[in-house]
């Protein structure tokens, strides 16, 4: 069914697709996770010169994408569920789509076999603490009255901190850390466990506790949550970076005890990988 508002009846015309002009979200970036299996028989069926050309071509694709403003490409040697992975952030979904297709074909016919793909967008958190709430917290917990120089100084620090946090959610700088984990998740809508039946203040309070658990891993785990309502079967994609895989295990375990997770969260498949240059991945996958 098509919905229209204020549209006059017009004589039907033949559909013409729009030209592929830049397509950028109002804010934030497109986020694409791609995980592949390697079909080694198809790879080895190519000549040596074809294989060398293909490997160089994929490297050139990745480097060209990394050179684009606000774009990031993480290349991954995957563990268990896949062989080769990419996490890509780009502001233009036309470029993101073109890169996706070029990567899929880069190593030759039937070499990269899709295992899992996930499209989402970087987004703000609707549960970020508001200035009014922080000012009230200062009064109630630290006994700092509003309007005093001490209060104004703390509020100025708060504004700067929140501005940086919001920018980092929309335009993140991903760390070159040694371990990576990705999983999708949604909030439950079951009777008695319907996240969306809760009012905003109840959800904000629950998320505040959830985020406090996450902050205990500051410096050990870098988390990026991207929104996928309308772009994937799940509602969010969670990307985690760490130096130590035990910290990934620990944060996921600790979060399971929080009410947001144990009562309202559903989790999809987990994909783990090791960020590294493509040339090292080629050696590991026996491609070079």
3-state SS class at 179: strand
Q: What is the pLDDT of residue 212?
A: 87
Prediction pTM value: 0.89
Q: How far apart are CA 228 and CA 83, in angstroms?
A: 24
Burial 204-231 (b: 16+ CB within 10 A, else e): bebbeebbeeeeebeebbbbbbbbbeeb
Q: How far apart are CA 28 and CA 151, in angstroms?
A: 32
Q: Is 60 exceeded by the pLDDT of residue 6?
A: no
Confidence of residue 235 (pLDDT cuts 50, 70, 90): very high
Mean pLDDT of 53-67: 98
Q: How far apart are CA 267 and CA 78, in angstroms?
A: 20
Q: Is 60 exceeded by the pLDDT of residue 226?
A: yes
Q: What is the pLDDT of residue 158?
A: 82
| Cα→Cα distances 100→10, 35, 75, 95, Å | 38, 11, 13, 9
What are 160-201's pLDDT values in tens digits? 888 888 899 999 999 999 999 999 999 999 999 999 999 999
**Active-site residue list:** 183
Mean pLDDT of 113-122: 98
Q: Please report the DSSP string for 33-50 in residue order.
A: EEEEEE-HHHHHTS-HHH
Among residues 59, 12, 10, the alpha carbon closest in space to that of 279 is found at: 59
Q: How far apart are CA 213 and CA 251, in angstroms?
A: 8
3-state SS class at 213: helix
Mean pLDDT of 130-154: 82
Q: Is 60 exceeded by the pLDDT of residue 5?
A: no
Confidence of residue 70 (pLDDT cuts 50, 70, 90): very high
What are 240-286's pLDDT values in tens digits? 999 999 999 999 999 999 999 999 999 999 999 999 999 999 999 99
Domain annotation for the chain: domains and CATH numbers: 30-122+276-284 (3.30.70.1030)
Q: How far apart are CA 33 and CA 180, in angstroms?
A: 12
């Amino acid at each position: 069914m098509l919905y229209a508002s204020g549209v006059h009846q017009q004589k039907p015309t033949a559909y013409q697709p729009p030209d592929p002009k830049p397509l950028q979200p109002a804010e934030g970036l497109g986020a694409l996770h791609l995980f592949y299996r390697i079909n080694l028989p198809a790879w080895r069926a190519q000549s040596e010169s074809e294989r060398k050309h293909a490997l160089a071509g994929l490297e050139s694709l990745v480097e060209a994408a990394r050179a684009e403003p606000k774009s990031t490409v993480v290349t991954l040697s995957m563990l268990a569920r896949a062989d080769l992975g990419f996490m890509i952030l780009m502001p233009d979904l036309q470029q993101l789509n073109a890169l996706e297709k070029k990567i899929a074909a880069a190593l030759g016919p039937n070499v990269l076999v899709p295992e899992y793909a996930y499209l989402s967008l970087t987004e703000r958190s609707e549960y970020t603490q508001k200035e009014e709430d922080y000012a009230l917290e200062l009064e109630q917990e630290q006994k700092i009255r509003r309007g005093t120089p001490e209060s104004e100084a703390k509020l100025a620090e708060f504004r700067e901190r929140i501005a940086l946090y919001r920018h980092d959610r929309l335009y993140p700088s991903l760390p070159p850390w040694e371990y990576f984990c990705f999983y999708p998740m949604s909030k439950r809508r079951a009777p008695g466990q319907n996240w969306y039946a809760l009012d905003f203040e109840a959800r904000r309070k629950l998320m505040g506790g959830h985020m406090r658990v996450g902050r205990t891993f500051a410096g050990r785990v870098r988390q990026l949550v991207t929104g996928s309502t309308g772009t994937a079967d799940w509602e969010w994609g969670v990307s985690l970076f760490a130096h130590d895989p035990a910290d990934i295990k620990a944060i996921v375990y600790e979060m399971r005890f929080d009410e947001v997770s144990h009562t309202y969260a559903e989790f999809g498949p987990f994909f783990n990988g090791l960020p590294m240059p493509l040339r090292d991945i080629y050696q590991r996958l026996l491609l070079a």
